[in-house]
């Protein structure tokens, strides 16, 4: 007999939540599904000991880019997190996996692969799509040729880049990431040096061109 599963779904789109719920209940009919539309709400619903897995959309009203995943990972330590994202870029998935999420699934593959991904996470594994796997492994090993500038950044640098592109001030970034303003400045300098950008304007233009600015 399969154990009863408790799954937290964090997504502010009602249609997406309904679809995810239906897929889960078709596989685990007695699953308890908790739903939240923001990170703040999710943290009032979920306690690590009671949750088996979190299904997390990154496009939320109170979180930008990887910020939501970071908050969930800190608050719900030990609970596997499956990110659903409109962004199918392997480099973005790599950053989140480096941060500690257990799986990454583009939303256009959710209908076909969500149940498989959840089975993998529930058994203690990790999950990405087959199409993403080869390139992702290259990124994680540092062996992918012709890396784009943002693919050369560390996980922390990548997060600072996204927050700068989103218009956050150094003080706001420091508060979000629990760093000093000086450390944020150091990260910014490293980012500009690695990527060859002159200023925040260059950084932001690049992120817009590569679809990295909006929460995904």
Worst-scoring range by mean pLDDT, 68-72, 74-78, 143-147, 185-189? Answer: 143-147
Show the domains of the chain with their CATH numbers: 6-141 (3.40.50.2300), 149-209 (1.10.10.10)
pLDDT category of residue 97 using cuts at 50, 70 and 90: confident
Would you say residue 163 has pLDDT above 50? Answer: yes
7 and 51 Cβ atoms separated by less than 8 Å: yes
Tokens representing residue 111 in the block: 């209908």
**pLDDT at position 216, please?**
36
**pLDDT at position 215, please?**
42
Name beta bridge partners: 103: 82, 127
Would you say residue 167 has pLDDT above 60? Answer: yes
Would you say residue 6 has pLDDT above 50? Answer: yes
CA 111 from centre of chain: 19
- pLDDT tens digits, residue range 59-90? 888 886 788 898 999 999 999 999 998 876 66
d(CA 36, CA 45): 8
**pLDDT at position 127, please?**
94
* C-alpha distances in Å from residue 24, one per residue of 5, 46, 103, 119, 195: 10, 18, 16, 10, 41
Would you say residue 46 has pLDDT above 70? Answer: yes
Average pLDDT over all residues of the chain:
87
For the full predicted model, state whether its pTM sits above 0.75.
no
Residue by residue, DSSP assigns 31-85 as: -EEEEESSHHHHHHH--GGG-SEEEEES-BTTB-TTHHHHHHHHHTTT--EEEEE
Query: Helix crossing, 181-195 with 155-165: angle to 10°?
Result: 100
- pLDDT tens digits, residue range 119-141? 999 999 999 988 788 776 665 56
Q: What is the DSSP letter of 127?
A: B
Would you say residue 178 has pLDDT above 50? Answer: yes
Q: What percent of the chain has a predicted confidence (pLDDT) above 90?
A: 57
The total number of residues written for the chain in this structure: 216
Tokens representing residue 1 in the block: 């007999």
pLDDT category of residue 1 using cuts at 50, 70 and 90: low
Q: Which residue has the higher pLDDT, 132 or 102?
A: 102
Buried b (16+ CB within 10 A) or exposed e, 92-114: bbbbbbebebbbbbbbebbeebb
């Amino acid at each position: 007999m399969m154990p009863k599963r408790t799954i937290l779904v964090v997504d502010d789109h009602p249609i997406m939540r309904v679809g995810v719920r239906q897929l889960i209940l078709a596989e685990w009919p007695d699953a308890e599904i908790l739903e939240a539309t923001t990170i703040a709400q999710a943290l009032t619903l979920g306690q690590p000991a009671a949750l088996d897995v979190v299904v997390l959309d990154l496009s939320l009203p109170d979180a930008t880019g990887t910020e939501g995943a970071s908050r969930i990972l800190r608050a719900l330590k030990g609970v596997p997190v499956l990110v659903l994202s409109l962004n199918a870029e392997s480099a973005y998935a790599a950053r989140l996996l480096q941060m500690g999420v257990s799986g990454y699934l583009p939303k256009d593959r959710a209908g076909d692969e969500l149940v498989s991904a959840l089975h993998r996470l529930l058994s203690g594994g990790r999950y990405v799509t087959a199409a993403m796997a080869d390139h992702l492994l290259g990124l994680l090993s540092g062996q992918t040729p012709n890396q784009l500038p943002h693919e050369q950044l560390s996980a922390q640098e990548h997060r600072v880049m996204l927050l700068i592109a989103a218009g956050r001030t150094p003080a706001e970034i420091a508060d979000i990431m629990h760093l000093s303003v000086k450390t944020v400045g150091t990260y910014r300098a490293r980012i500009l040096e690695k990527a060859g950008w002159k200023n925040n304007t260059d950084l932001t233009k690049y992120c817009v061109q590569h679809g990295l600015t909006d929460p995904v």
